[in-house]
Copies of this chain bind each other. A is one copy, B any other.
Amino acid sequence: MKVSAPATIANFGPGFDVFGLCLDEPRDVIKVKESDEVMVEVEGFNVPEDPEKNVASISALALLKMLKAEMGFRMKIIKGIRPKSGLGSSGASALGGALALAKLLGVENRELIIKAALEGEKAASGSAHGDNIVPSLFGGFTILKSLSPLEVFKLDVSFKLVIVLPKVEVSTKRARAVLPRYVPLSDAVRNLALASALISALKEGDIEKAGKLLDDYLAIPYRKPLIPWFDNVRRAALESGAYGVSLSGSGPAMFALGEDLGDIGKAMVEAFENEGIGAEYFITKVGGGAKCSDV
């Protein structure tokens, strides 16, 4: 069984812990077959091969435990998503591991698969959040209302976007630790208005309008000390014609919507370099979610 689980953008502007966008690229590919033992082999970006420490195998083992299935597996991970990039690297691996085992066992229950993947996500980032796992599974744009029971609203959207990936890391644990427990009611209202308007714009396929609604008052302001370059890179994107720009998840990756995505990407890379941070950009499009095939 082979599963290809795509990278994702969590939060997507105003949708902290709720919105997720599935990307077409990059992807983690996870091949798995039944075995007497439990073994993990990794190609591509460096992640642990210890089955107790690898996010994909932790999720796979969690699924087996939930199903009370006693079996081993050999897992090969082609890790195409850079860890700690803000592109849902652990979420994709977690989903891929759980989904591969589920397919091997003929299990279709999405809620169960996500529940298992959350175990891997929790091990990687310290908290069991589904805002990368869910879009990586469903594809398109997702509104995560509830994990248990699983309530997801999916929007079929289609557009290209530019992703800029700097050579720095932002710890998801730390990015979560800096958030306050209470926020001003006025900020809650502002994000609610932005998020609602964004859904309306996306439903209408108006990407320019959607791009202008990517502000956030719930998470990014508190995370600024961890991403001191954010405002300058954002400004560079807007000045080069981006409709809008924001952080992908808790960063460091950023994304922008616009017309001339290459120009925008170059301007953002340059802005990172002005901060003394190497960066690269790539253009991708909204993806259709994890794909499974018999090897």
Measured CB to CB, the residues of A under 8 A from B are: 14-19, 143-146, 151, 153, 155, 179-185, 187-189, 191-201, 203, 213, 218
A143 and B218 form a contact (CB under 8 A): no
User: For the complex, what is the distance from the CA of A280 to the CA of B35, rounded to whole Å?
Assistant: 69
Evaluate whether A16 and B189 lie within 8 angstroms (CB atoms) in the complex, with A195-B196, A199-B200 already known. Answer: yes
Which chain B residues border A218 with CB–CB below 8 Å? 185, 188-189, 192
Task: Taking A17-B189, A183-B184, A195-B196 as given, write out 11 further A-B residue pairs in contact, using a Cβ cutoff of 8 Å, ordered by the A residue number.
Answer: A15-B196, A16-B189, A143-B196, A143-B197, A144-B193, A146-B193, A180-B185, A182-B183, A182-B184, A188-B192, A200-B203
Q: Give the distance to chain B from A188, nearest Cβ to Cβ, in Å.
A: 4
Of B144, B184, B196, which contacts A199 at CB under 8 A? B196
Most chain B CB inside 10 Å of its own CB: which residue of A144, A153, A179, A196: A196
User: For the complex, what is the distance from the CA of A141 to the CA of B144, rounded to whole Å?
Assistant: 23
Of B143, B181, B189, B197, which contacts A185 at CB under 8 A? B181
Which chain B residues border A189 with CB–CB below 8 Å? 16-18, 218
Tell me the nearest residue of chain B to A182, going by C-beta: B182
Tell me the nearest residue of chain B to A179, going by C-beta: B185
Q: Give the distance to chain B from A11, nearest Cβ to Cβ, in Å.
A: 11
Which chain B residues border A15 with CB–CB below 8 Å? 192, 196
Which chain B residues border A19 with CB–CB below 8 Å? 196
User: For the complex, what is the distance from the CA of A203 to the CA of B153, rounded to whole Å?
Assistant: 12
B188 and A153 form a contact (CB under 8 A): no
Which chain B residues border A17 with CB–CB below 8 Å? 189
Which 3 pairs across A and B sit closest by C-beta, in order of nearness?
Answer: A188-B188, A182-B182, A203-B203
User: For the complex, what is the distance from the CA of A210 to the CA of B18, rounded to whole Å?
Assistant: 17
Which chain B residues border A183 with CB–CB below 8 Å? 182-185, 188
User: For the complex, what is the distance from the CA of A189 to the CA of B17, rounded to whole Å?
Assistant: 7
Which chain B residues border A201 with CB–CB below 8 Å? 153
